Structure 1
Amino acid sequence: MPTLTCQQIVTNARRLLRDNDPDGDFAHSDEVLLGWLTEGYTDMVILKPSVNTVIETFQLQPGVEQTLPDGGVIPIRGISNMGADGAIRGNVFTLADSKALYRGFPDWMLHTADGSVQHVLPSPTPTSFQVYPPQPDPAHFVALEYSAIPAEPADINALISVDDEYAPALTNYIVHRALSEDSDHPANREKATMFHEKYLQLLGAKAQQEMASSRRTS
């Protein structure tokens, strides 16, 4: 759970930018930096979906093509079927590769509709996915874990919407965006690139830690 506030992230970013006017006459306003912080949430979730995930029970749509709830980006893990009313936990389903399904069943989209999902097929298009078999009308409910864009902070004193361990990456993203705005100066372009690479490195290092942890516990 996060314990750091957006103000703390903005303050750290200002320190790296050397934007520390004692009278508060900053080169970049709180509003601007908070906007880049929010932008950073979206970028982080796209690059590393596990940064922010949600488990939700929701009703599917008739047929194959499905849409994640508002703010959803990609499916992460199937939890279970939840029946016609969303209240009865049923069989577990898995994420699958659509290419493998096509190889085994080229006509799978034409198969008989069934409310019990066997596979969820992630789509190259964010926010959408497919299910097998097709859903009947009315469609049934599923419980699904998916990556989601965090909500915008109410104000600068709000807690950040990702775990504290992602705070350094978020700070580097804000600094990268601030320097990119001043990219008329060659030195700022170089610094912007450096902070963006650091941001990516921090996310990558975190991904490697998660993979190692998964291997140890599997």
Structure 2
Amino acid sequence: MNKITVTGRTVEEAIDLGLQQLQVARDRVEVTILEHPSKGLFGLIGAKDAKVELLVKPDAIDEAVQYLHEIAGAMKLEIQVNRRETEDGVVLELSSKDDIGILIGRRGQTLDALQYLVNIAVHKPGQPHRRIILDAENFRERRKKTLEELAARLASKAVRTGRDVVLEPMPSHERKIIHTYLQDHPKVKSYSKGEEPNRRIVIGLK
């Protein structure tokens, strides 16, 4: 239910009753006053209550889901989107009976690009920004494990050779995974160098 019509003795009373029914905050609805209250003859005969229409505005996450369906539709894909809250933001899990690999791309590059576009599309200036994270077929967790294994292997190489190891450029959220994994390593340290989009990690001895 995203639109209701409510009556009350005053416009504000009608709005309050509608908000209670919809269980949303005032800033989540658009209000249209259909009828103003009137006292009628002698304050009794023909008196009318106020009548208002409340329309729930879609939030950023609803808009993001709709945006993803439109993009997938243009690619001839039928997708399902499940939503879950995390400390880092709202994760939208994409699934499909079709080959969803086309939405993931090489090393998640397409998924990252979609995530960037979705966040830009639904962010409204002046409103609180909720970070939206896209995932598909548990790619984010699988990629995290791959990067941690890579970090462990290259840290061992740095210790064995005594030389710095320079990784290929990668996005900031992937660099963060490697930095976090190596932050307590007893023998190596990691840092980033270069400018985006060619910023890369260097692993060297402490």
The answer to whether the superposition gives a TM-score over 0.5 is no
Structure number with greater Rg is 2
TM-score between both structures, scaled by the size of structure 2: 0.26
Looking at both structures, which has the greater relative contact order when contacts are Cα pairs under 8 Å and sequence separation is at least 6? 1
Which structure: greater strand fraction? 2
TM-score between both structures, scaled by the size of structure 1: 0.25
